Structure 1
Amino acid sequence: MSKSSQPSGYVEGSNVNPDGTRRELSNLNVQMIAIGGAIGTGLFLGSGSTIHRTGPSILLVYIIIGFFFYLMMRAIGEMMYTDPSKHTFVAFIHRYMGPKYGRFAEWNYWLTIVLTAMAEMIAISTYVRTWFPSWPGWLVQIVFLLAMMGLNLFVVSAFGKAETVMALIKIFAILALIVIGIIMVIMHYKSPTGHIASFTNVLGNFKMFPNGIDQFIFAFPMVFFAFQGIEFVGITTAETKNPRQVLPKAINQTLLRILIFYVGALFVIMSITPWRQINADSSPFVQIFSLAGIPAAGDIINLVVIIAATSSLNSFLFSGGRHLYQLALEAGPNKMQVFKTISLNGIPVYAVIGTAVLTLFAPIITATGMTDAFSFVTSISSDIYIIVCVLTMISHLRYRQSSEFLDHEFQMPLAKFSNPLTILFFVVIYASLFFSPTSIWAAVGASVWAIGFFLVIAYRDKHGAYPKDGSLSE
């Protein structure tokens, strides 16, 4: 590092932060948390519809989006490496773009986390009721929420270990599919419809746009949101052992592994069955395991999906608690005091509880049946996520131009060119939402919400509602 001074709030080699939180997460824990957030129910259940949209070229979509997420993670990693004391990467938006943009990003990203956690709870109850249809969905959600909240309130290491186990189960299911699929290809498996398993099913008679270029373009936002959650690496740093050793490894290895799991699984699926023969309304995992003669394939995947959703809920509660804690720190000395409390075991206890309490709207929505309205709101929230990504990359540019820039060994590669290119890519993804009939209204809603929310913050800031120094802590 070119500067001898350490960032405020971080002591090299210490496992206890000045605010009382503890650095108990290992490199494996951090990677599994990121994988747990990014590999969710979409891969196990929804990948059939994405395959039907573009065919084999969906692999290229995953690779392109994975590349730009890697660049964003390197930008986040560079800033977190400079100051590992921050509990959320969004805090850098506050620091380098000012309080108005910071509060916009922090509050909206926290709301995105809460809404996504609610969606995972609804998904969990849906899959559990596949086996137990008489169980009330709202009660299932409350039970799972209490279990994950209790886990998050215990100690950070317990959360990390639980997330590692659940993420490993998901990874095992994906690897099992890949291994079984390769064996079926080697044995030239013949399906009931007469198709021979072969890698040529993927690349033979390849067409880039088999259903039109518009379907290829519209696949980008769908895959983009599948990677949502990988940025959780930038939320664990303040509670990670030896963050300057772990962070580079976690970021460089995590995205590569996720790409292998996504691209590898989809490639094998399309090798076993020609992509046009895959049922878009059924889990491709169930279809392949059934063809392989595995008994109770549907039940196995249903269990994996429940674990996947529970893992995501676990990560979202962790992330949401740290974001609410960071928001409380930035609110000033006399505001949101309760959410600044750190328990004896190093947990921002009331910030975690506050996030969990808000997710209780999920059981209420389930009980009232307002699922369509909730899906629309969740889509708006997901679109806001793209805006946060853009602001994160702009913050990295500002960081590079600031006096706090440190010429350390973990920098974003070719940042002068790759950063603006990543911003442009995210903007194009957001713009594409307005051209798809399935996403246009959510995109309009996200734009209206973003403008309105920012104007409210700007008005309150103008009238002295917030501290003027833009500090990130008291």
Structure 2
Amino acid sequence: MDKQENTNADGTKRTLSNRHVQMIALGGTIGTGLFLGASTSITKTGPSIILVYVIIGMFFFLMMRGIGEMLYQDPSQHTFIAFISRYLGQRTGYFAGWTYWIGLIFVGMAELTAIATYVRFWFPHTPAWLIQVGFLVILTSVNLIAVRIFGEAEFWFAMIKIVAILAMIATGIMLLLTQFKTPTGQVGFANITTHLSLFPNGIHSFIGAFPMVFFAFLGMEFIGITTAETKNPRHVLPKAINEVIYRILIFYIGALIVIMLIYPWQSLSVKQSPFVQVFSLVGLRAAAAVINFVVLTSAASSLNSMIYSSGRHFYQLATESNGRFMRRFKIISTHGVPAKGILISATLILLAPLISALPIVSNAFSLITSTSSDLYLIVYSLTVVAHYRYRQSTDFMPDGFLMPAYKVVDPLLIGFFVVIYISLFFDSSNWLPATLGILWCVIFGFFASRERSTVPAVSVSDDKMLDHL
């Protein structure tokens, strides 16, 4: 391919290969929610956390099939939010666009907060804000250089995570087969089955685990966001999405089972990664330090993806807006990236150290993750409705990458997202962000309904504009 064929009409470059997208898909699927948040989830509900991951993983996979179907029909879009504008109206798209972008910022804050926690494993006296600023500057620079540099960085970030999880699973199997004994007892299924209960801490705790697990899956949609900068999107996209289910089974369910085989779930500390605790328990202090590096890499990977995604999403907002302020963000840099969108997103992520420093915030990570989950739930619900409308529109591609039984699946997904939102109120620490989410819908939804600055997304009913992809 020549240089022109590798460049989109807006100046962004299609330089991500299949291996980049596959690893970005893994990077978006495996993040801080698993490496750090799993401790909180396991202590809330014990072995039944596996059931929570299976349920949420299944619904996420179905949602990704819906998003994938729309992106397969029009892979030129930088974000799936464009389909909300197209099928639900410009003002709904305006509301969803800003809501999703702010959600990305909050997830970026959560990852930045986690990074400081991991680094202080080695440097406990280093100020958290200094660590956060340093990492944010480095990763923002990576995103500003070129999309291929981002792809390479994410490829190796994801590779480290995969190797670490597979190593832990292999270690767990070996310890199980050799009947290894730790200071808390013998490694085995007895750690899971003894006094087994679906609701060991009550049904409220079981339901309260859903928001944190939901957060663990946030970012899965990044598979689609990379489509516009992928060399062969219609070949890469279906494969990347269909493999999501295997990643869930191996990397989430497999890791959780091994953690609980080795470490009695009642003894896990919510202040430290369960991966680090497991290796420390079996006497591998050096391995624990290595795993801490891995979970640090995981958080850096997720933050890297958030900067990538939020920058492109803000660029998309700018291109769909006639507002005077947004005009300056419609520019693609000479490196083929939306530099100004990346910079404004990274600047707002820097609010994380300020939130962590507030005296009234006892657990900044939990507060930020709950807030981001609220915003994502709103956008995901609108995306599913947009998919339903797409299937009934003239754009529908009957020979495309179809979601099965959409008339049943789409309503089920909406109901699932409503249940997750309600579950936020089962934990007193989530009341504030859950209430703020409702206020956001009411107040910003009112202003969005009066917004006239957005321009409609162009509907694509044929493949002519995609012949060059």
TM-score (norm 1): 0.90
Per-residue deviation, 1:288: 2.1
Distance 1:22-1:202 versus aligned 2 partners, 3 A rule: same
Q: What is the alpha-carbon distance in structure 1 between the residues aligned to residue 285 and residue 455 of structure 2?
A: 63
With 318-327 and 266-275 compared, the bigger mean Cα shift is at 266-275
Aligned to 2:453: 466
Counterpart code for 2:240: A
Per the TM alignment, residue 311 of structure 1 is displaced from its structure 2 partner at its CA by 0.9
**Residues 295, 211 of structure 1: alpha-carbon distance in 2 compared, 3 angstrom cutoff:** closer
CA contact (8 A) 2:91 2:454 kept: no
1:145-171 Cα shifts (integer Å, max 9, x gaps): 121111111111110110110111112
| More moved, 275-284 vs 402-411 | 275-284
The whole-number CA distance in structure 2 between the counterparts of 1:285 and 1:373 is: 20
Q: 1:218, 1:267 → 2: CA distance?
A: 20
Q: Report the Cα distance in structure 2 between the residues aligned to 1:155 and 1:408, rounded to whole angstroms.
A: 34
- Summarize the Cα distance change of 1:20–1:472 in structure 2 as closer, same or farther, 3 Å threshold: farther
Aligned to 2:349: 359
Match of 1:256 in 2: 246
Q: What is the aligned partner in structure 2 of residue 399 from structure 1?
A: 390
Among 181, 186, 198, which residue is 1:196 paired with? Answer: 186
Distance 2:279 2:437 in 1: 39
Counterpart among 302, 309, 328 of residue 318 in structure 2: 328
The CA RMSD measured in Å over matched residues stands at: 2.4
Residue 8 of structure 1 aligns with which residue? none
Does residue 1:115 correspond to 2:102, yes or no? no
Residue 347 of structure 2 aligns with an amino acid whose one-letter code is V
The one-letter code of the counterpart of 1:413 is P
Task: Describe the shift of the 1:33–1:284 C-alpha distance in structure 2 as closer, same or farther (beyond 3 A).
Answer: same
Q: Which residue of 1 aligns with 2:308?
A: 318
Runs of 4+ in 1 over 6 A off after TM superposition: 367-370
Most deviating of 59-68 and 270-279: 270-279
Deviation at 1:282, TM superposition (A): 4.0
Q: Give me the whole-angstrom Cα distance separating, in 2, the residues matched to 1:426 and 1:377.
A: 19
Alpha-carbon separation, structure 2, partners of 1:165 and 1:80: 26
The one of 77, 85, 88 equivalent to 2:76 is 85
Residue 427 (structure 2) aligns with? 436
**Residue type at the aligned position of 1:304:** V
> 2:291 corresponds to which residue?
301
CA 1:197–1:251: 2 relative to 1, 3 Å:
same
The answer for the alignment partner of 2:463 in structure 1 is none
CA–CA distance in structure 1, aligned partners of residues 390 and 333 of structure 2: 33
Number of aligned residue pairs: give it.
Answer: 456
Distance 1:416 1:110 in 2: 29
SS in 1 for 2:36: helix
Mean alpha-carbon deviation: is it higher for 68-77 or for 156-165? 156-165
Percent identity (aligned)? 52
Q: Are 1:214 and 2:214 matched, yes or no?
A: no
Q: Is the 8 A contact 1:167 1:311 kept in 2?
A: yes
- 8 Å Cα contact 1:35/1:258 also seen in 2: no
| Cα distance in 2, alignment partners of residues 243 and 300 from structure 1 | 36
1:121 Cα offset (Å):
2.0
Distance 1:23 1:139, change over 3 A: same
Alignment gaps of 5+ in structure 2? 461-469
Helix, strand or coil: the match of 1:130? coil
Q: Which residue of 2 aligns with 1:129?
A: 120
- Post-superposition Cα deviations, 1:321-363, rounded to whole Å, max 9, x if no partner, equal 1100100110038662221111223111211122122223334
Q: Which residue of 2 aligns with 1:445?
A: 436
- The CA distance in 1 between the partners of 2:13 and 2:205, in whole Å, is 47
Verify: 1:234 aligned to 2:224, yes or no: yes
CA contact (8 A) 2:86 2:456 kept: no
- Distance in 2, Cα, partners of 1:282 & 1:190: 22
Contact 1:91 1:472 in 2 (8 A): no
- Counterparts of 1:358-377 in structure 2, within 5 Å, are 358-365=348-355, 371-372=361-362, 376=367
Within the candidate set 34, 37, 41, 1:46 is matched to: 37
Contact 2:356 2:364 in 1 (8 A): no
In the superposition, relative to structure 1, how do residues 27 and 387 fare at CA in structure 2: closer, same or farther (>3 Å)? same
Residue 467 of structure 1 and its aligned partner are, at CA, apart by 4.4
1:422 Cα deviation from its structure 2 partner: 1.1
Letter matched to residue 100 of structure 1: R
SS in 1 for 2:45: helix
Partners of 2:227 and 2:359 in 1: CA distance: 39
Name the structure 2 match of 1:271: 261
CA contact (8 A) 2:139 2:304 kept: yes
Q: Which amino acid aligns with 2:453?
A: Y
1:243-302 deviation line (CA, Å, top 9, x unaligned): 000000111113421331111011112222343344454432223212333233442232
Mapped partners of 1:178, 1:164: distance in 2 = 21
- Find the partner of 2:49 among 58, 61, 64: 58
CA distance in 2 between counterparts of 1:220 and 1:178 reads 24
Task: Answer with 42-51 or 271-280: which moved more.
Answer: 271-280
Distance between the aligned counterparts of 1:369 and 1:208, measured in 2? 36
Structure 2 distance, partners of 1:272, 1:362, is 34
Per the alignment, residue 101 of structure 1 pairs with 92
Q: 2:8 is matched by which residue type in structure 1?
A: N
Does residue 224 of structure 1 match 2:197? no
Three-state SS of the structure 2 residue aligned to 1:336 is: helix
Q: Distance in 2 between matches of 1:291 and 1:138?
A: 30
Give the deviation of 1:204 after TM superposition: 5.6
Query: Aligned in 2, Cα 1:399/1:374: closer, same or farther, shift over 3 Å?
Result: same
Partner Cα distance (1:367, 1:190) in 2: 41
Query: Would the aligned equivalents of 2:43 and 2:270 in 1 still touch at CA under 8 Å?
Result: yes
Of 405-414 and 82-91, deviating more is 405-414
Residue identity in the other structure for 1:466: S
Shift of 1:130: 3.4
Between stretches 350-359 and 163-172, larger displacement belongs to: 350-359
- Conservation of the 8 A alpha-carbon contact between 1:36 and 1:167: yes
Say whether the 8 Å CA contact 1:180–1:292 is kept in structure 2.
no
